[in-house]
Chain A
């Protein structure tokens, strides 16, 4: 008999203590970033907004007026470590909310498209094709230019540009799921379309959607960082890792740490999500390896 998803998740949980070291590392990074996002203002060593022009661009590990700047200071003399800790919040909020929105929207669109087939499917599939045909950054920049900066707008941009990835896969799986006997028997029991789609078909899509979502968080963090690097994400006063990398661009020759260290924060976080996502994928459904 085929194991149910609940069984597989339980096994996943039990297996955690004998997971590979790299996966534990990924989990650790993830927990660390979430911790930074939740308690950032409490654990940051200094106020991330306090400027001190006299001590601008001090190198990492420098001690100024009894203040230890582990990662140095930026062009306005602000502590880089504190800014990285505070920056985690924006990255996390934007990426998690965008993945939630895009995942929900893409899944619903994919189920409807695959379930009803016919005209509705043709329309939705064409929209997916069109969406995937426009280079991601160009669409994101165009929408960001229309909407202007801001947290909600960035979430909107990332949702609009990524939902099609879920929709395409979910549609393909729904097409084969709807031919199963359990759909027929549900129909015989008098279940309506809505009930079949969301109570009978959707649970079978769960593992696919979970896998895409975790890997998608990694890609969304990168995309948000790229947008904020271009100055198209949240308002300039909000701390983001991407904007911090951009801040240091003009000082590369004099102060290498201003750009590179916030970039390492992005790299580490995305690496954590990728390690975790790859592992969950290999456990739940190795056939999705092409993602």
Chain B
């Protein structure tokens, strides 16, 4: 129920905001269009009515699955948005994989060998990761791996090689956060009594680490990963812009500029659903990892 209120609230804000950004009619018609033409198009797009009436019409047709037609593409807005989902989904998945590949070993070793060089390395890595402008890191990657070495293409989409640089950009940034989180939550768990009990009953180090420590320490990490995945689906604007990657972030930015209201609205609906599903998935994983957690 709460998430429905939040989704409607987000929609209302976005709905009002993009309408404040200007009238799309002037972008759609040639400059010499007559006043009658302008009025006719405005009525045709339903923009001549008060905002709250427009919002009501939008909501009631959205419930029936109709999110309107794109002003720019002249196709259903939902189709336009969904056509970009695979590109962004590939990017998000690969970058989450990169995050895990970096963060899991680093976070675990840093927690087990406190104050070792791995620990210090992971600390400085996460500090740098959080201090680096994403667009700058992307540009440095392009400079090194695409211009200097010529290993990967600098922009566009097509092969798996196009995906590498943008996913590394996003994955590294998220890894900086996950490493720290995993380290501190593992350190906390390792001090718990049940770890001592597990050792006391003669379990091997490997089993204690995997079954008792990591399993319990992973709860906050999974929450954060879910959050990062939602953000990757909706908010990877900078990275998608630098690499000219035709994903959702790129689409929504150009749609804001084009004042293509239905596409922006459809984007918000799709992203809200993604966020709700990811949260659901995180909750289910919670109950698997920690059977004490029950949802009514």
Interface positions of A (Cβ within 8 A of B) = 126-127, 129-130, 133-138, 141-143, 145-146, 218, 222, 225-226, 229-230, 242, 245-246, 248-249, 252-253, 256, 259-260, 263, 266-267, 270-271, 274-275, 278, 289-290
Contact = CB atoms under 8 A, between A and B. Distances in A.
Nearest to A229: B135
B138 to A, nearest CB: 10
Contact of A134 (B2, B10, B220): B10
A231 to B, nearest CB: 11
B18 interface: yes
A75 B242 CA distance: 19
A136 B275 CA distance: 14
Contact of B238 (A137, A145, A248): A137
B17 A260 contact: no
A252 B142 contact: yes
Contacts of B238: 137, 226, 229-230
Contacts of A126: 2, 5-6, 9
Contacts of A249: 139, 242
B270 interface: no
A142 B220 CA distance: 31
Interface size of B as a range:
35 or more
A249 B146 CA distance: 13
Given A242-B133, A260-B143, A266-B133, A138 B6 contact: no
A270 B10 contact: no
B147 interface: yes
B186 to A, nearest CB: 14
B6 A133 contact: yes
Contacts of B184: 289
Interface in B10-40: 10, 13-14, 17-18, 20-22
B82 interface: no
B241 interface: yes
B127 A133 contact: no
A242 B133 CA distance: 9
Contacts, number: 119
Contacts of A130: 6, 9-10, 13
Contacts of A289: 184
B208 to A, nearest CB: 25
Contact of B127 (A135, A248, A253, A271): A271
B202 to A, nearest CB: 34
B131 A145 contact: no
B245 to A, nearest CB: 15
Secondary structure class of chain B's binding surface, majority of residues = helix
Contact of A225 (B133, B220, B253): B133
A105 B122 CA distance: 35
A253 B127 CA distance: 29
18 contacts: A126-B6, A133-B272, A136-B235, A137-B238, A137-B249, A138-B235, A138-B252, A142-B17, A143-B17, A145-B21, A218-B130, A218-B131, A242-B133, A252-B147, A260-B143, A263-B139, A267-B128, A271-B128
Interface in B182-201: 184
A130 B2 CA distance: 10
9 closest residue pairs by CB, A with B: A135-B235, A263-B136, A130-B9, A271-B131, A270-B131, A146-B21, A135-B234, A137-B237, A229-B135
Contacts of A225: 133, 135
B145 to A, nearest CB: 12
B136 A129 contact: no
Contacts of B134: 226
A245 B9 CA distance: 36
Given A126-B9, A260-B139, A270-B131, A138 B17 contact: no
Contact of A253 (B136, B147, B271): B147
Given A135-B231, A222-B131, A260-B143, 15 more contacts: A134-B13, A135-B271, A137-B237, A141-B256, A142-B18, A145-B256, A146-B21, A226-B133, A226-B134, A242-B133, A245-B135, A248-B139, A267-B133, A270-B131, A274-B130
A242 B21 CA distance: 24
B242 to A, nearest CB: 8
B131 A267 contact: yes
| Candidate in A137, A218, A222, A246 with the most chain B CB atoms within 10 angstroms | A137
Nearest to B13: A130
Contacts of A145: 21, 256-257
Given A126-B9, A263-B133, A274-B127, A141 B237 contact: yes
A249 to B, nearest CB: 7
Given A135-B231, A218-B131, A271-B127, A260 B252 contact: no
